[in-house]
Structure 1
Amino acid sequence: MGTYDGDDFYCDVAIPRAVPLEVVHEDDLVLAYHHTRPFWPVHLVAVPKQHIASFTTIAASDEAHVRALLAVVQQLARRVEEEHGAAAVLTNLGAYQDSKHLHVHVHSGAQLRA
């Protein structure tokens, strides 16, 4: 995949499938797939299909999407933990958040790159 220089990879690229993705879950509210540039040997990302800027901007009107997202994250984390013996769940905020769209990483293994 080429370099993306926008600020919402998920709305611009992932959700509309502007690039091929290895999808592990998709329904009307949530998309989850193997990260396109993994930082860990197992690196999944789950994202609500509705734009929500970040974890700290979740509003009451986002409840259905956030509940669905967390249910998918729980399923992914359970599967990764069962298959690999450990799992971590991570979301980034502020300057740590490259893409300004709520997304959650589920990962396992030693970090591949900084």
Structure 2
Amino acid sequence: MVQSVPQYRGDDFYCDVAIPDPGSLDVVHEDELVLAFHHTRPFWTNHIVIVPKRHIASLTTVSSADEHVIRRLLEVVQAIAAETERTTGAAAVLTNLGEYQDSKHLHIHVHSGPRR
């Protein structure tokens, strides 16, 4: 059973809350490198967030040492986006950078439907 996630006030929700306690989330996918779950505060009707389990600050800080993690992250994003498109008729994929990035941990959103 998924529990309610309390209001978080830090700067890395994924390292501090999601990755250590995926049982508190509505998990879509989890393996040794990647975690994907329904957003705890969705902006769209269908809103899934996918994160590497290893801390990577953002897309612009990815290095060659992160190659295998990023490859797996993109495989999961592709599969979730394809499933979202199949079931809802459309999907968008996005990541935020700089001031747009609330949580300073690389994360990719797959979403569809109207804004909530």
| TM-score range for the pair, normalised by the shorter chain length | over 0.9
Q: Percent identity?
A: 65
Paired residue secondary structure (1:5)? coil
Q: Give the structure-1-normalised TM-score.
A: 0.95
Query: What TM-score results when the alignment is normalised by the length of structure 2?
Result: 0.94
Report the residue type matching 1:28 in the other structure.
E
Q: Is the 8 A contact 1:13 1:19 kept in 2?
A: no
Q: Say which SS state the counterpart of residue 72 (structure 2) adopts.
A: helix
**TM alignment of 1:24-103, pairs within 5 A:** 24-103=28-107
Q: How many residues align?
A: 112
C-alpha deviation, 1:2, in angstroms: 2.4
List aligned pairs for 1:12-27, cutoff 5 A.
Answer: 12-17=16-21, 20-27=24-31
In structure 1, runs of 5+ residues without a counterpart are: none
RMSD: 1.0
Give ranges in structure 2 of 5+ residues lacking alignment: none
